[in-house]
Amino acid sequence: MCGIVAYVGHREAYPLIIKGLKRLEYRGYDSAGVALLIGGELTIYKKKGKVADLEASLIDAHPTSTIGMGHTRWATHGEPNDRNAHPHYSHSGRLAIIHNGIIENYEAIKQKLQSKGYEFRSDTDSEVFVNFIEDIQKATASSLEEAVRLAMQEVVGAYAIVLMSAEPEDSGLLIAARKGSPLVIGVGEDEYFFASDATPIIEYTKEVIYLDDHQIAVVRAGELTVTNIDNVPQSPYIQTVELELEAIEKGGFEHFMLKEIFEQPRSVKDCMRGRVSADEGYLVLGGLRDYLDSIAKSKRIVIVACGTSWHAGLVAEYIFEELARIPVEVEYASEFRYRNPIIKEGDVVIAISQSGETMDTLAALELAKSKGAIILGVCNVVGSSIPRLTHAGAYTHAGPEIGVASTKAFTAQVTVLTLMAIAVARKKGILHEDTFRRLLFELERIPDKIEKVLKSAEKIKEMAWQFHEARNFLYLGRGSNFPVALEGALKLKEISYIHAEGYPAAEMKHGPIALIDQDMPVVFIATRDNSYEKIVSNIQEVKARKGKVIAVVTEGDKLIPTLADHVLEVPITHEILTPLLSVVPLQLLSYYIAVMRGCNVDQPRNLAKSVTVE
Ligand code: M6R
């Protein structure tokens, strides 16, 4: 939800900021803007549309400055247009702000400011924030840092902000603060970078600081200081990010989404690296070591997540209950946090999140922690908010996922959760050595099997052509392939804008069957498992009503190809690992359909990669 980047140092700020904004565009892309200090004045350029539109509009401008900040927006307050694009000037024009997040009490603050004569140029809460700071500074005759601190004590909501000032005494000054929205500081040689994540920074420095909530970072006269909201100096921990540039570039693929689908053999391998060895009968999740005993003794596990991560949680429910025999509840984080959930001391709450920043998931976890639960995280982005809040956890190590549609994050999450379930079952002493060895053996073969599924990309592309004009899609599966049906439907709708629904196959008779006619494509995830015969009957029911059946089947299946209109094969594996394979053809199908419909696959309309607002 909005990307922010700022720079102060000895380089040309404008090209650096534009490049950084392009890397952050996955976070929002309805408008973009840049503020630079030029000749002692704050100069703002901003425009509705993509960063490239802003860049094109400035092709002849050649703005020059060594200090500046930029923003790419996902609209919350006010429609996407030039006026509402960031940065925003304060009333006097002497301050400018970029903001990621939401100020909940902005209306009350705005009214107070209006009664004092402040006028507003936009509909945003961010413009209210910068004017509030300006008003406090005027009223208290304090430094800008102090005014920011006082404003932070009053505003309610979530934010990461960066401010610049045109006052001569503030020359070279950048101020940043965070509460609830991510902010990373890059520490270079006589230069500093601020950004929503490390991707705009790593080209210049690998040394970063993750700012914590209620902290304020100030670069003044080339010196960085970090204090908290009570003005207590902080000693920020500088860490080295292990992120290479090629990981955040397309590497010859047409879209990030396609690159990330094809990366899955490697990302699944990376997420098991050093953790699993079938030969040695070895499984270690270092980050969970101290909590394994408590998890094994827990009476129930609650999983909280959103979107695709929630689907991974549903798959994990089957695996945990099957192997570890602990009851699992999977909750939408947004519902969990607002319904006074019953959490007992010693309950285990696992948050799953690719970004580690999803606001609802973070809030659900805070609530669970306050009620005495053991809170764990399964996240991809190292150093993000969720892993910093949890007692323990396991990173997925899938590498940066930039396409808005989550693909490799899902398979990595399911892999890590499977490892957790196996480790807990071992700890409980209820997993037979043979089953343990077989699971590890099969897990180690998953990357090669995904590779094999990817070989059918051309076939899936041809099939996609026949369905790219469909108006609706139904996805059906049973057991742990039911969440795969949900995931297939989500993938299709979010990038192609085709209406799609996922259901447990048996639920079809309770309503959705009424939709089936010759124009309804129905995707069955029908791999060989203990509900195979039942799903075959469901396929027949759809065929009897002239629906078009696409079936994902286990290699060598002889029966379903005689019933379905199209089949996509996946290799055989241990039944509980099937979702790691069966999801892949569905990702590809959605991708190709979306491309054929001319959709912007990596940046679908109305969406953003990281949902840091409720
Ligand atoms: O970063 P998170 O995993 O917490 O994000 C959760 C959802 O916002 C995310 O999975 C979303 O549903 C994706 N667009 C799905 O492709």
pLDDT of residue 467: 96
| DSSP secondary structure string for all residues of 75-120 | -SSS-SSTTTSSPEE-TTSSEEEEEEEEETTHHHHHHHHHHTT---
Distance 487 CA to ligand 1 centre (A): 11
C-alpha distance from residue 461 to each of 340, 474, 541, 611 (Å)? 46, 19, 27, 31
Kindly state if the Cβ of 202 falls inside 6 Å of ligand 1: no
The pLDDT of 585-598, averaged and rounded, is 98
Helix (H) / strand (E) element for 42: namely strand 41-48
| Residue 94 CA, distance from chain mean position | 35
Q: Looking at 427-495, which runs of residues are DSSP E strands?
A: 472-477
pLDDT of residue 62: 85
Catalytic residue among 2, 271, 306, 599: 2
Q: Using an 8 Å Cβ cutoff, are 161 and 125 in contact?
A: no
CATH code for the structural domain at 456-601? 3.40.50.10490
Atom of ligand 1 nearest to the CA of 379: 3
pLDDT of residue 158: 87
Q: Does residue 74 register a pLDDT over 90?
A: no
pLDDT of residue 249: 82
Name residue, tokens 């199908």. Answer: 589
Specify the residue with its C-alpha closest to ligand 1, atom 12: 307
Label residue 420 exposed, middle or buried (CB < 10 Å: 0-12, 13-18, 19+).
buried
The pLDDT of 63-67, averaged and rounded, is 95
Q: Does residue 92 register a pLDDT over 80?
A: yes
pLDDT of residue 272: 96
| DSSP secondary structure string for all residues of 567-596 | EEEE----GGGTHHHHHHHHHHHHHHHHHH
pLDDT of residue 401: 93
The pLDDT of 139-148, averaged and rounded, is 94
Do 250-454 and 456-601 come out as alike in CATH topology?
yes
Kindly state if the Cβ of 500 falls inside 6 Å of ligand 1: no
Kindly state if the Cβ of 358 falls inside 6 Å of ligand 1: yes
The model's confidence at residue 12, banded by pLDDT at 50, 70 and 90, is: very high
Question: 520-577 pLDDT, tens per residue?
Answer: 999 999 999 989 999 999 999 999 999 999 999 999 999 999 999 999 999 999 999 9
- Non-local (6+) Cβ contacts of 447 within 8 A are 264, 265, 266, 268, 269
Kindly state if the Cβ of 496 falls inside 6 Å of ligand 1: no
pLDDT of residue 280: 92
The model's confidence at residue 244, banded by pLDDT at 50, 70 and 90, is: confident
pLDDT of residue 180: 85
Active site residue 112: no
Kindly state if the Cβ of 405 falls inside 6 Å of ligand 1: yes
Distance 398 CA to ligand 1 centre (A): 14
Q: Using an 8 Å Cβ cutoff, are 100 and 77 in contact?
A: no
Distance 304 CA to ligand 1 centre (A): 12
Specify the residue with its C-alpha closest to ligand 1, atom 11: 307
The pLDDT of 141-150, averaged and rounded, is 95
The residue to mutate among 27, 181, 308, having the most atoms of ligand 1 within 8 angstroms of its beta carbon, is 308
Q: Which CATH number fits domain 250-454: 3.90.1150.170, 3.60.20.10, 3.40.50.10490, 3.10.50.40?
A: 3.40.50.10490
Kindly state if the Cβ of 494 falls inside 6 Å of ligand 1: yes
| 178/196 Cα distance (integer angstroms) | 10
Kindly state if the Cβ of 361 falls inside 6 Å of ligand 1: yes
pLDDT of residue 44: 96
Question: 345-357 pLDDT, tens per residue?
Answer: 889 999 999 999 9
pLDDT of residue 78: 81
The model's confidence at residue 246, banded by pLDDT at 50, 70 and 90, is: confident
pTM of the shown model: 0.84
Q: Does residue 462 register a pLDDT over 80?
A: yes
Specify the residue with its C-alpha closest to ligand 1, atom 14: 405
pLDDT of residue 303: 98
Greatest distance between any 2 Cα atoms in the chain: 80
pLDDT of residue 452: 98
The model's confidence at residue 120, banded by pLDDT at 50, 70 and 90, is: very high
Catalytic residue among 22, 408, 449, 609: 609
Q: Does residue 234 register a pLDDT over 80?
A: yes
Atom of ligand 1 nearest to the CA of 404: 14
pLDDT of residue 250: 86
Distance 484 CA to ligand 1 centre (A): 15
Question: 407-452 pLDDT, tens per residue?
Answer: 999 999 999 999 999 999 999 999 999 999 999 999 999 999 999 9
pLDDT of residue 416: 98
Q: Does residue 614 register a pLDDT over 80?
A: no
- Non-local (6+) Cβ contacts of 588 within 8 A are 261, 454, 456, 457, 460, 461
Kindly state if the Cβ of 205 falls inside 6 Å of ligand 1: no
- Non-local (6+) Cβ contacts of 474 within 8 A are 489, 500, 501, 502, 503, 508, 512, 515, 516, 520, 521, 522, 523, 547
pLDDT of residue 76: 80
| DSSP secondary structure string for all residues of 399-416 | ----SSS-SHHHHHHHHH
* Percent of the residues in the chain that have a pLDDT greater than 70, as a whole number: 100
Atom of ligand 1 nearest to the CA of 491: 16
Q: Return the C-alpha torsion angle 106, 182, 99, 490, nearest 10.
A: -80
The model's confidence at residue 26, banded by pLDDT at 50, 70 and 90, is: confident
| 177/234 Cα distance (integer angstroms) | 13
- The residues spanned by each domain of the chain are 3-246, 250-454, 456-601
Active site residue 609: yes
Q: Which CATH class is domain 3-246?
A: alpha beta
C-alpha distance from residue 469 to each of 278, 306, 452, 502 (Å)? 46, 29, 28, 19
- Non-local (6+) Cβ contacts of 23 within 8 A are 3, 199, 200, 248
The model's confidence at residue 477, banded by pLDDT at 50, 70 and 90, is: very high
Kindly state if the Cβ of 309 falls inside 6 Å of ligand 1: yes
